[in-house]
Chain A
Amino acid sequence: SQQGEEDPQALSIQEGENATMNCSYKTSINNLQWYRQNSGRGLVHLILIRSNEREKHSGRLRVTLDTSKKSSSLLITASRAADTASYFCATDMKGGSEKLVFGKGTKLTVNP
């Protein structure tokens, strides 16, 4: 089944640095979403980008979508220790059953 796959699996950076995570998927989509999960908590929606959009911003987050390469990236600028979490991309399938399929996530550690 189609699934977003995040890269890298784990990322460790210093506070203040930028963090970039990537997501690749297999088939055409209607939209792609990014979620954050803090340890022991539920997922929190960050941003949704539709297939006809190329870039979207929300605060310190920037998401890009390249449908020709079937990939997306999530950039967190000026990272903080509080950004430490796992980040998941979720995709639907164009013409499919309109449900989200989540990747395995990127575990981000921001060191103070």
Chain B
Amino acid sequence: DAGVIQSPRHEVTEMGQEVTLRCKPISGHNSLFWYRQTMMRGLELLIYFNNNVPIDDSGMPEDRFSAKMPNASFSTLKIQPSEPRDSAVYFCASSLYRVGSETQYFGPGTRLLVL
């Protein structure tokens, strides 16, 4: 299996622009997670889906962030408009289980820089 796939791997954009991050989970996995990692705050859960349905989005920072999972093999995280403080590494992870507390498999991450 190819593992969790994320694109793009790197993104540099200017403040105010829309950013879309993409994720393809491992086939057959039932849960998908979006995390953000910064030096200051560490690894934070933004949102997770179970069977394509958002279960917990309490970590989404503000209305500028939105996430969708239109089918079992694809999810997007969108930031509109982007701000310099959104600069971070964004990880997607998936899990075979229907709860968010079991083993998770992480993608390589998208390194976002907002100028």
Contacts and interface: CB of A to CB of B under 8 A. Distances in A.
A100 B108 contact: no
A98 B106 contact: no
Nearest to B59: A99
7 nearest A-B residue pairs (beta carbon): A92-B101, A42-B106, A99-B100, A102-B43, A98-B99, A43-B106, A104-B42
Contacts of A98: 99-101
B113 to A, nearest CB: 14
B15 interface: no
A73 B103 CA distance: 18
Interface residues of A, number: 21
B60 interface: no
B45 interface: yes
B47 to A, nearest CB: 10
Given A31-B101, A97-B58, 8 more contacts: A30-B101, A42-B107, A42-B108, A97-B56, A99-B45, A99-B48, A102-B42, A105-B42
A42 B42 CA distance: 13
